[in-house]
Amino acid sequence: MMGRNRWMLVGFCGVMVLSALVSAVRRQQVVPGEPVEQHEPVMHVPESRFSPRQRPVDEYNPARTYSEAIADAVEKVMCSVVVIRTGRQQKVVRPIIPGWGRVEWEELMGEGSGIIIDENGYVLTSWHVIDKAEFIEIVLNDGTKLPAHEIGHDKATDLAVLKFEPKKPLCPAVEFGDSDKVRVGEVAIAIGSPFSLQSSVTVGHISQKGRRVQILPYEDFIQTDAAINEGNSGGPLIDVDGRLIGVNAAVKTEAEKKGVGIAFAIPVNLAVSVANSIIEKKRHEWPWVGCFFQSTGTEYKGIYDGASVVISDVFADTPAARASLQPGTAVFAVDGIPVKDEYDVKRIIFNKSVGKSIKLLLLLNEQKQEVELELEEFPGITLY
């Protein structure tokens, strides 16, 4: 019985082998008239993970629109931003032995930023950037280095104007905005050379206006959270349309809060008034009408028909005296702009130039009347 089973198993294996041979022969048969195809081994090559996969963007994306607006504004202004490098020599004593030393000269270098405000080569910057400098050099956005000299400066606002000889083609001047119309919360862009890193851009917002932080004799700062560091001084603060709205001036940072700072810029309306005066007269002429103003406080508004500002002093032989203005006169508006405190009055007056006129809306003879006064130069050396 076992022998019979063995032979049956051998026969089954033989049938399977024969079937496999027949199938192989059929696959190798060639049909007459058809070419014989030579098949290469097929290998699957996966797509590279680094191959480009950029899809066309069609739908509206507000974030992209915002980003493009920032980039466009920066591109518009960048050619008007310069690096300002200064140098001076200072005597130092190098100790040799106790009680004895050798006097040597040490070269001190400084760096800041500036803005081209006129195609003829006038640059607006911070005065502390060039203070005590023995030589001044500006570096254009394309890397061109040119000597410059100071035209004049104003200590009260820490502003200075430089002059260089522009090459052809003329350097583009920045476009001026209107700092009076800037609103808190708007986007602000700072450009400059912090830590010698030329053409650096930071973005933030207008945090507040009219700040006074006791850094300068006269302050009407625009506060921003755009990062401003050493080397940004004198550079531009611009809006999303690429217009100058302020000159970066200072940063207030608590040492224990690293990286956290509040930056301040001088409003462009004031800066332009100061710059024009320096270019024309080599110094800034502070305008006034011959009287001082004082905030009344809310408890006195009823006395002055709701006015928040009054004239406190009137000086002889001035526009205010010639107009017969008296102390205690209520002030409602200046040039059509309502004023809520004495700083509003100063801001409007100081944004103008000597020889211009302003209109005061006053309470005269129990009626509101408008009086026009011509601005004269303040007779003192400095206002503060």
Active site residues: 128, 158, 233
Compute how many other C-beta atoms are within 10 angstroms of the C-beta atom of residue 244: 24
Element (H, E) at 145: strand 145-154
Report how far residue 198's alpha carbon sits from residue 217's, in angstroms, rounded to the nearest whole number: 30
Query: Percentage helix, strand, coil, to 5, in the chain?
Result: 20, 40, 40
Tokens encoding 89: 């020599």
Report how far residue 243's alpha carbon sits from residue 237's, in angstroms, rounded to the nearest whole number: 8
Among 219, 213, 303, 300, CA closest to 262: 213
Task: Return phi, psi of residue 48, to 5°.
Answer: -65, 140
* Burial of 193 (C-beta count, 10 Å sphere; 0-12/13-18/19+): buried
Within its chain, how far is the Cα of 122 from the centroid? 19
Report how far residue 223's alpha carbon sits from residue 334's, in angstroms, rounded to the nearest whole number: 24
